[in-house]
Structure 1
Amino acid sequence: MDITFIRHGHGEHLIDYPNRLNELHPGLTELGKSQVTTLCKQLKLDPHDVILVSPTRRTIETALLLTAEEHLTIVLLLVQECFLRIRSSFPSSVIRSIPRRSLILSSPG
């Protein structure tokens, strides 16, 4: 088994550094999306791969871009207090609009 760690693409909170560092739920900038697109060309994903992501908007967006052409499972790692934060960042219609993937919400402990 191989484990690959990937950092998310450039986030919106870095546009006006350091003034936006406390911005809630920043997504990816156009640069960040471009970085992920470039990474997709270098990274070979297998249909059995599982993508584990932290509960931030920019990491979820990175995972969705990485798996845009694949039928992969995305596992969103959550702790209970983060669940409300995610739900406020992504309307349920956005999460439900990913029919090719399984989005698993887990709450350790």
Structure 2
Amino acid sequence: MKDSLDWQKETFLEEMDSPEEARELLQVFELSSESLLSEIEKALAEGNLPLVREKAHALKGACATIFFERARLLAYDLEKAADLETAKEHFAQLQKMLKEFQKVIANF
């Protein structure tokens, strides 16, 4: 079953050895995604589209690791953005979604 954010929680939990491992991985995801978002935001401000793509690729992988499909797709769109304006639009959507997901992590 998927939630409104399209996080496949049940699949994620099935892949974990224990609830503690799941919590630890979510904490790592939270920290790494915050760092990557910050780096992407800076790269966008500097007009560095290649760096945006590199960091978006890393974020896409992190989202896939925890079965967060909708965010993975947004990170993919950001990675493949043809120009800075499109990248900024995808970034705003992704940033908003990950902020919402932080609430899920906090209540996990």
Structure with the higher fraction of residues in helix conformation: 2
Larger relative contact order, structure 1 or 2 (CA cutoff 8 Å, min sep 6): 2
